[in-house]
Structure 1
Amino acid sequence: MARNPQIHKARVEGYNQGFAVGYQQGKYSACKYFDKKFQGLEDLPGIGEKTLQKITKHFEFGPEYFKEFG
């Protein structure tokens, strides 16, 4: 801890801002990753309309999922 409380406060605020930016970037990267993996999934043999509906249903997290971790 810095001896100067203002320096300590600025350091903590900077850390928290960096953490928030990292969290947002991680969430964005994860969404892009899953989007890339699921792109063209319907073209694979053995994956039809029903299977795609099951996969979509399984990954329907909704906003409450992200509130839990954010």
Structure 2
Amino acid sequence: MTDTTLFIADRATLDSAAELLARFGDHAAIEAALRAGASRDKGNVVHFCRWRQVERLIEVLAADQPVGTVH
């Protein structure tokens, strides 16, 4: 995971990340990436961006170390 600023657009993004983590565990980020790819293949840019954001959030939530600035 690169050290980047994470933007969470809304509660639904966090809920989706938590749901995928509960369902798929260590493979949750892969599932989000697959969903993003499927959305891209259908030409749905909005859902593609949403699932990519969920994927990045899952990586941050699953990280052992803090990501970004710690105050």
Q: TM-score, normalised by structure 2?
A: 0.30
User: Going by fraction, where is helix more abundant, 1 or 2?
Assistant: 1
Q: TM-score, normalised by structure 1?
A: 0.30
- Larger relative contact order (C-alpha < 8 A, sep ≥ 6)? 2
Flag the structure with larger Rg.
1
